[in-house]
Structure formats: structure tokens, C-alpha cells
Amino acid sequence: MKPLLLLGGGGHCHAAVDVIEAGTVYQIVGVVQPSVAGSAPVLGYPVVGTDDDLSALLAETPRALVTIGQIKSPATRIRLFELLKSHGAEIPVIKSPSSYCSPHAELGEGCILMHGALINANAHVGENCIVNSQALIEHDAEIGAHCHISTGSRVNGGVRIGTGCFIGSGAILREGIEVGNGAIIGAGQVVLQDVEAGKTVSNHRD
């Protein structure tokens, strides 16, 4: 099995660990955290260093995955992904054995497909994306880099989603619409028309 470092040890990391352990390709060797002092193991895997230690860590384990989650902003995931790229790291695509990705679809490096995710033919998913549990990306959809397609969401055929977007749990996007860069679609939203860049679509009331 191929050794793999994980960057970030929070909740999304826990889910990513479960996906990686379900497969037979990668073996987690440790977790990189902002601070090592007092850091407990993450689901049994040791915290092996901080971002400042990446050069030395990648010299021994040249393969790593960003396992920080994304809700309101993709900024931390983007920063860590670009940090790995600057060190020349190999950033694999991770697929749960219970996910399905059409052989006619394309996934950018650093993507993770969680349990039950489905990506259909001629879909294109950019680098460093999370396609979470039971999410659906239908035929001919285009997902920009650094997006999070949340649990149970439905991205229908021909939808175009820009860079750094968040699609909330259970959201449904009508076929053919466009979602601009940095948009946030709240949980359970049914989106029937284009969404401007940077806009939040939500029924939530503060």
C-alpha cells in the first residue's frame, strides 16, 4: 500500500480516514496539524508535525491529501493544496469503494469521493474537491476547483459550478444552471435558476 500523509485532523479528516481505510491503495502514516503540542492521535494515527515540517515529512512520504473540511470558505483548503503543490507533493484522488465514478468522467487531483457518491458520464470535477457521502453529480456537469458538494446533494445534468463553491446537504440544482465562483447554496435548497458569483442562497434566518 502507498504511504499517505493527511493535512488536518478534524471532523472531515475522520470521515476521510474511514474512506481511505475502506480501500486497499493507501496507508495513512500520520496527520499534519497546525500545532503538535498536546495533539492526541487522530483515530489512532499519530500527529507527525506541522505545516512548517512539510518539507522534511514529504521527503520521506511524498504523497499527501488535504483533509480540512469546507463550509463557508475554501481558503484553508486552497492554501494547503497550494502548499503541497509548492513542495512537489503527489496529491492523489481518493475514492470510496462504495462510490461510483464513470470511466468517462474526469476528476482533478486531490479530490475525494466519499461513501455512496456517484459521478456520471462526461462530468468534470476540478482539483481539491470534496464529493461527500451520497452526493450525485450527473452527466455533463462541470464542477470548478476547491468545491464541496455536500452529503446527499443533487447536481443535475449540465450544471456548471464555479471555483470555491459550497453546495449544502440535500440541495438540488436544476439541470443546465450556472453557479458562480464562491457561491454558497444552503442545505435543502432547490435551485432553479443561475446563481451569481459570491451569492448565498439560503432560507436560514439569523
Per-residue pLDDT of the chain (206 residues; tens, 9 = 90+): 999 999 999 999 999 999 999 999 999 999 999 876 667 899 999 999 998 999 999 999 999 999 999 877 999 999 999 999 999 999 999 999 999 999 999 999 999 999 999 999 999 999 999 999 999 999 999 999 999 999 999 999 999 999 999 999 999 999 999 999 999 999 999 999 999 999 999 986 54
Report which DSSP code applies to 52.
G
Q: How far apart are CA 190 and CA 202, in angstroms?
A: 10
User: Which pLDDT score, from 0 to 100, does residue 206 have?
Assistant: 46
Report which DSSP code applies to 46.
P
146 appears as a binding residue in the annotation: no
Query: Is the CATH number 3.40.50.20 carried by domain 2-87?
Result: yes
First to last CA, the chain: 48
Q: How far apart are CA 23 and CA 127, in angstroms?
A: 21
* CATH tag, 93-205: 2.160.10.10
162 appears as a binding residue in the annotation: no
Q: Tell me if domain 2-87 and domain 93-205 are identical in fold.
A: no
Active site residues: 139
Cα of 170 vs its chain's centroid, Å: 17
> What is the DSSP pairing of strand 106-107 with strand 124-125?
parallel
Domain ranges of the chain: 2-87, 93-205
Q: Are 126 and 106 in contact (CB under 8 A)?
A: no
Q: Which of 51, 55, 58 is nearest to 80 (CA)?
A: 51
